[in-house]
Amino acid sequence: MARILVADDAMFMRETIKKALLAGKHEVVGEADNGRTAVQQFKRTNPDLVLMDITMPQQDGLSAMTEILQGSPEARIVICSALGQEEKVMEAMAAGARDYVTKPFNADQLLAAVARALE
């Protein structure tokens, strides 16, 4: 079981992710609807892992991830991307993301990425 922060600007996606994580026996310790809030929530909750959407308002997932990793190099982050964002995914992986999932994904794909990132 891991303590996980979910960052996605779409409420329905946060709910979908939370449902999958809870079914996988993980704990959701926080939610963010933009990158700036994700960074704040990370500092407040110190999660085991962050599920971070790439495209969000105010601060995108890549810059939020970079900010988190600057302060906590050991942070584990899994990027969630939409189809067609392969370049951004590769950029995120090069910058320190542990894994990624491409939307739309199912619960098994999400939980597998979480497990890999936690190894």
Domain chopping of the chain, boundaries: 6-118
The 10 Å CB-count burial string (b at 16+, else e) for 63-90 is: ebbbbbbeeeeebbbbbbbeeebeebbe
Per-residue confidence in pLDDT tens, the chain, 119 aa: 999 999 999 999 999 999 999 999 999 999 999 999 999 999 999 999 999 999 999 999 999 999 999 999 999 999 998 877 788 889 999 999 999 999 889 999 999 999 999 99
Please report the pLDDT score of residue 68 as a whole number: 98
**3-state secondary structure (DSSP) of residue 9:** coil
Cα angle value 35/89/2 (rounded, 5°): 60
Please report the pLDDT score of residue 84 as a whole number: 76
Q: How far apart are CA 48 and CA 4, in angstroms?
A: 6
- 6-118 folds as Rossmann fold (3.40.50)
For 31, list phi and psi in degrees, rounded to 5. Answer: -135, 150
